[in-house]
Structure 1
Amino acid sequence: MPLLERLHAISANLTLAVTIGFSREMQEAYDAGELDAVIVRQEGSRRGGEKLADDAFGWFAARRFTFPKGEALPLATLAPPCGVRAIAVRALDKAGIAWRERFVGGGVTAVIAAALAGLAIAPLARRIAPPGLVDLGPEHKLPRLGSSKVMLHSKVGDPAKLAALRAVAATFRSLATS
């Protein structure tokens, strides 16, 4: 059963307000009491929360993507302060690989579209890379990007809201392992 249908079945009176943004900004809003719960990439040494998944990253591009010879590696990323972008740029700089931003998307869907179109290579979590994109990192000796934890932080106490949040967490876990 799709997630929104499950949430409606839990409580027809539940009001959902979903905000999508950079993990750091969402964590700050949660800490300020502006959000009841957040699902974010773990940043720094923060403690607490419930681990939903480990996200391994790779260098994803369309099969037809060709690496430019003698030119900077074209990247498709989200704008700063994207944590995945920061990891990728740091890894390339440390490896001495020249890079340039070819596409800066306002959302991960746009970044994926640019990679699928063959415009650039995108640092992405493996679980969100769609069919049609392949990890070209090992083949082209790009630096490893490692992984990060995806965490749920919640201040929810209301039973109906808590049941809905449990459904969201279960759905996220099932998608992360499929």
Structure 2
Amino acid sequence: MKTTDFIGLNAEQSKKEIELLNSLLANFQIYYQNLRGFHWNVKGNRFFVLHAKFEELYNDAIEKVDELAERILTLGGVPLHSYAAYAQAASLKATENVSDGDECLRIVLENLSVLINQEREILAVAADNGDDGTQDLLTPYISEQEKLVWMLCAYLNK
């Protein structure tokens, strides 16, 4: 028995979604690890503010990682679950040795741009498949991330 049989989705039609969701999962894992690095390594007079903000962001990202993996399973797929698989599937790049707060925030903004665009692409495929569950999962992600982009731009005075 397949979950998709019970939730009314066609397993074959869901394959493209699974592929895209796995790519998004990989990007979220890279985003998460970048945030961890920023949290650990940021320096300067805004250390306390940025250190706390990066922790908030990586805690949010790791929750989304779990939700994405569970959605992939719900659709009948297997979530990527190794660093090698993430590195191969992700379009985001791991960031190392960045300690300047403004540079960290610029990278976060670039990462968010990739995630938002990828989520929009998945929304379109999910809509074509009649997959309300995936749409309901990703729509709040986009709203939250767009607001975060605005706030980070305001913080950087851009």
Query: Under a length normalisation based on structure 2, what TM-score does the superposition of the two structures give?
Result: 0.29
More helix by share: 2
Q: Normalised by the size of structure 1, how large is the TM-score?
A: 0.27
**Which of structures 1 and 2 has the larger relative contact order (alpha carbons within 8 angstroms, sep 6+)?**
1
